[in-house]
Amino acid sequence: MKHVIIGTAGHVDHGKTVLIKALTGTDTDRLKEEKERGISIELGFAYLRLPSGITAGIIDVPGHERFIKNMLAGVGGIDLVLLVIAADEGVMPQTREHLEIIQLLQVKKGVVVITKKDLVDQEWLELVQEEVQEFLAGTVLEKAPVLPVSAVTGEGLNRLLDVLDQMAGEMGERKYFGPTRMPVDRVFTVTGFGTVATGTLLSGRIQNGDSLQIYPGDKIARVRNIQVHGNKVDEAEAGQRVAVNLSGVETSEMGRGCVLAKPGSLQPSHRIDVKLTFLPSAPKPLKHRARVRAYLGTAEILGRVILLDREELQPGAEAYAQLQLEKPAAASRGDHFVIRSYSPMRTIGGGLIINPAPPKHKRYRDEVIRVLATAEKGSPAEVLEQHMAAKPRIFTKAELVAETGMGEKEIKAALRELIQAHRVIMLTAEEENYYLAERVLSRWEQLISSELAQYHKKFPLRDGFPKEELRSRFFTGLNAKQFQALLNHLAQKNSINVLAHCIAAKGFQPQPAPAQKEKINRLENIFLSQPFQPPNWRDATRQAGLPEEEQEILNYLLARGVLVKVSEGLYFHRQALHEAIKLVKDYIRANGRISLGETRDLLQTSRKYTLPLLEYMDREKITRRVEDMRVAGKSFNEGPEV
């Protein structure tokens, strides 16, 4: 079903609220102060069933200059605008400012309604109509119908309803596939129900029982009840005015300017990249770092305009810029925004959000401007690839949705295109998919290759670079699972060898240098010269002339089984160890058992070496201790004996 949001705009006291009441029967002035003063201060809401049966939500926005910020909170999600101009006053200051806001927010569908036609004669009405046509020239409403009406007599109202019905019927359906997102414009408490938030659902759906995150922030609330057009429903769709009853949150924990969205789907940021249009009516140039009031969705946030390629922006000009906000904003790519001067307050510009969560940019950099131009005008695949290539990270699909502001279907289609073109790589770890830009992968592959080459040169006897050390030094943005997925991919490409705890260059084998080989041979001869009374390691290395590299060579010999650690500080050459085991086994086969003393005499060594050697055989289950004797163990008949 099609859903349409109609918003009013226009100068104070030009009859917007009276017109809405005449069309819908609802008085949108709900506050006592509004009744007393006869003007709208806050947003008002009503529902209108058009002749074709389409139901439209109507947002009645205040026109007084002091309440422009409230107007901005309501106009952001509308499909069609009613620009109201009173016949007895014509175009007024807030009429102009409201049209500028409509222009900046690119609300391209609308009807211009000349109200209070019963207060003027025909000649005056025609003059006002001419003035209005001149006023609209060159704007988004240049071709909009201009309809005189009287809310008091009802004249022209049926014609207005027919035009609204026709325009609503011609409008395309809202995109439902985007992530659920509803900027909040009102929060209140209903006795017996609790907290209620209202807003226009910009994309996605909300269902009873859904969990929604309150942005900016990490508070999660659950949807208890939903109302659309004043009726209780189980589900709300994009394009509808929605009231959501929430549990798990107090009214003090949220307010206008918050956004209700799927948990993890948005990335609030103090910086936003924008294409900024500075209004021709602005009284003076906009200077770099000018303080402004930024209006994004229903939020009003103070901030500064960072001009990236100039010191000031002339009225009527456009430029890429970065908004540096004093509070984080939860925006999405493609949203429109408005800025007003800090003091005195007046609308001076606005435009399009290009990147809702960018890094800080350096000014006067051509590459920065090129990146922003691609982000503004590029295809979804181009924008996504640029986003991924700019950040040396591995992404989940949910992270890409949150960071780019694209819908999930749009992201999936762009990823499919990029993967087929070999510009993005999909990695899989523990049944979870990750995505990596080919450009980033290429840089990482070169980095790892370079680091491995240096590591192998420095430590030629080690198996490879320890995984966790490599990750902590160069890949801090990746968790262990993502890093392992990266290494597995590179191994599949035959770029590296992945071992249990380290990685090595393809084809690398630990190999001592010629000088080391000579010293290793000396070491082996030293250990074999007294096979069952080996020297301690420090004495052996001193004899072999290895004062500095002793630990590296020890690790190498142990890793390759040339030396075997029998006990702390005691190492046997493997030939000597195998010979000792063979002698003990032969003795047990012949005699059924062997004692410590018999082993000592058999090997012609001392107790200092015999006891650790028998304990080693016990641990390996070659022998088993029974009181003071050793008998055959479970592994007695296994393994080599020479």
Which residues lie below 8 Å from residue 289, measured CB to CB, with a gap of 6+? 304, 305, 306, 307
The pLDDT, as a whole number, for residue 44 is 61
The pLDDT, as a whole number, for residue 100 is 87
Higher pLDDT, 54 or 84: 84
Does residue 601 have a pLDDT over 70?
A: yes
Question: Among 616, 618, 588, 623, which residue's Cα sits nearest to residue 602?
Answer: 588
Q: What band does 490 get if pLDDT is binned at 50, 70 and 90?
A: very high
Chain-centroid distance of CA 248 in Å reads 25
Q: Where are the alpha helices (DSSP H) in 59-188?
A: 68-75, 93-104, 122-136, 157-170
Q: Which amino acid is at 388?
A: M
DSSP string, 236-268: EETTSEEEEEEES--GGG--TT-EEE-TTS---
Q: Which tokens is 46 given?
A: 């009503």
Number of Cβ within 10 Å of residue 427's Cβ equals 19
Place of tokens 């990249």: 273
Does residue 548 have a pLDDT over 70?
A: no
Does residue 431 have a pLDDT over 50?
A: yes
Higher pLDDT, 594 or 50: 594
Question: Among 540, 510, 532, which residue's Cα sits nearest to residue 578?
Answer: 532
Q: Which tokens is 605 given?
A: 């060594």
Does residue 425 have a pLDDT over 90?
A: yes
How far lies 597's CA from each of 111, 601, 602, 614, 628, in Å?
109, 6, 8, 11, 10
The pLDDT, as a whole number, for residue 172 is 65
Number of Cβ within 10 Å of residue 421's Cβ equals 11
Does residue 574 have a pLDDT over 70?
A: yes
348 close to 290: Cβ distance less than 8 angstroms: no
Does residue 427 have a pLDDT over 60?
A: yes
The pLDDT, as a whole number, for residue 546 is 73
DSSP string, 568-609: TTEEEEHHHHHHHHHHHHHHHHHHS-EEHHHHHHHHT--HHH
Domains and CATH numbers, the chain: 4-170 (3.40.50.300), 181-261 (2.40.30.10), 269-370 (2.40.30.10), 378-511 (1.10.10.10), 516-632 (1.10.10.10)
186 close to 198: Cβ distance less than 8 angstroms: yes
Min mean pLDDT across 66-70, 290-294, 499-503 is at 66-70
Higher pLDDT, 134 or 229: 134
Higher pLDDT, 514 or 520: 520
The pLDDT, as a whole number, for residue 32 is 40
Q: What band does 640 get if pLDDT is binned at 50, 70 and 90?
A: low
Average pLDDT over residues 86-101: 88
Min mean pLDDT across 142-151, 164-173, 307-316 is at 164-173
Does residue 528 have a pLDDT over 60?
A: yes
Higher pLDDT, 1 or 421: 421
How far apart, in whole angstroms, are the C-alpha atoms of residue 439 and residue 425?
10
Tens of pLDDT along 605-616? Answer: 999 999 999 999
Does residue 515 have a pLDDT over 80?
A: no
Does residue 639 have a pLDDT over 80?
A: no
Average pLDDT over residues 568-577: 93
How far apart, in whole angstroms, are the C-alpha atoms of residue 95 and residue 616?
94
- Sheet architecture: strand order including 594-595: 594-595, 629-632, 623-626
Single pTM value for the model? 0.70
> What whole-number percentage of the chain has pLDDT above 70?
92
Q: Which tokens is 38 given?
A: 């006869």
CA contacts within 13 A on the Cβ side of 177: 9
Number of Cβ within 10 Å of residue 375's Cβ equals 22
Does residue 193 have a pLDDT over 50?
A: yes
The four Cα atoms 430, 432, 435, 438 give a dihedral, to 10 degrees, of 30
490 close to 449: Cβ distance less than 8 angstroms: no
Does residue 3 have a pLDDT over 90?
A: no
Tens of pLDDT along 211-225? Answer: 999 999 999 999 999
How far apart, in whole angstroms, are the C-alpha atoms of residue 582 and residue 588?
10
The pLDDT, as a whole number, for residue 46 is 76
The pLDDT, as a whole number, for residue 269 is 94
Min mean pLDDT across 60-69, 133-142, 304-313 is at 60-69
Does residue 153 have a pLDDT over 60?
A: yes
Tens of pLDDT along 11-60? Answer: 877 778 888 888 887 755 443 433 333 333 234 667 788 888 888 878 77
How far lies 41's CA from each of 12, 14, 61, 241, 623, in Å?
10, 14, 8, 20, 93
Higher pLDDT, 636 or 31: 636
How far apart, in whole angstroms, are the C-alpha atoms of residue 139 and residue 441?
47
The pLDDT, as a whole number, for residue 104 is 84
> What whole-number percentage of the chain has pLDDT above 90?
52
Does residue 508 have a pLDDT over 50?
A: yes
Does residue 72 have a pLDDT over 60?
A: no
Q: With H, G, I as helix, E, B as strand and everything else as coil, classify residue 509.
A: coil
Arithmetic mean of pLDDT over the chain: 87
Does residue 180 have a pLDDT over 60?
A: yes
Q: What band does 177 get if pLDDT is binned at 50, 70 and 90?
A: low
The pLDDT, as a whole number, for residue 53 is 81
How far apart, in whole angstroms, are the C-alpha atoms of residue 7 and residue 80?
6
How far apart, in whole angstroms, are the C-alpha atoms of residue 159 and residue 173?
24
